[in-house]
Copies of this chain bind each other. A is one copy, B any other.
């Protein structure tokens, strides 16, 4: 979850931002002035800071400088002042973007996405645990006891369908359709063949599977 720190002394604006950002899946914290903003930033280590320049206790550039001392998280400045000199000062102090009030909330969200996109570029992907093995669907890697395990294309496709429906039973026909195509309905021997291979590569005891389970007559199930 991406953490955003909103710094604004006007409660209604802070509240509006919090609601909008939270609704879009961000984790939001707020601070009403510069001192608390710096403290909150140190405690939370946010991934992005939305900073109003019109704070009661400190100058905006000081806050930026205080943040830039130890973090390189993007800083998106809000301000009522449209003067170019103000913008230049903020940007050169270390801000990444500058939006003048009144602002369109959709545009602000787009700028937030643009700013966070860069940080996410080399990011990690979610991994699923299967007993002693770790499966990374995005990277297409499997690690087991530190060693890499290689899966073939068909094995990946089958495993992916199961892992994307954790705990749920997936019918044999659905598995066949998703992996081999709509013309395959009754080739359950394919499933047996490849489930056995997956178990051999992932389960601690392939003969007695714990996570890749067979539901006789119906299908298969991945149990986390």
Binding site for B on A (CB under 8 A): 72, 74, 84-85, 87-88, 91-92, 94-98, 104, 106-107, 109-111, 113-114, 117-118, 121-125, 138-141, 150, 152-153, 156, 164, 166-169, 215-218, 221
Max count, chain B CB within 10 A of own CB: residue among A110, A125, A168:
A110
Residues in B with CB closer than 8 Å to A138 are 168
> A115's closest neighbor in chain B, by CB?
B96
A201 to B84, CA, bound (A): 50
Residues in B with CB closer than 8 Å to A168 are 125, 138-141
A88 and B110 contacting across the interface, CB-CB below 8 Å = yes
> A141's closest neighbor in chain B, by CB?
B167
A169 CB to nearest B CB, Å: 4
B97 and A110 contacting across the interface, CB-CB below 8 Å = no
B107 and A87 contacting across the interface, CB-CB below 8 Å = yes
A88 and B106 contacting across the interface, CB-CB below 8 Å = yes
B110 and A91 contacting across the interface, CB-CB below 8 Å = yes
A1 to B85, CA, bound (A): 26
A185 to B122, CA, bound (A): 26
B118 and A92 contacting across the interface, CB-CB below 8 Å = no
What are 20 A-to-B residue pairs whose CB atoms are below 8 Å?
A: A72-B123, A74-B118, A84-B104, A84-B107, A87-B110, A91-B110, A91-B111, A92-B114, A94-B117, A98-B111, A138-B168, A139-B167, A139-B168, A140-B168, A140-B215, A141-B167, A141-B168, A150-B215, A153-B217, A153-B218
Residues in B with CB closer than 8 Å to A106 are 84-85, 88
A153 and B216 contacting across the interface, CB-CB below 8 Å = yes
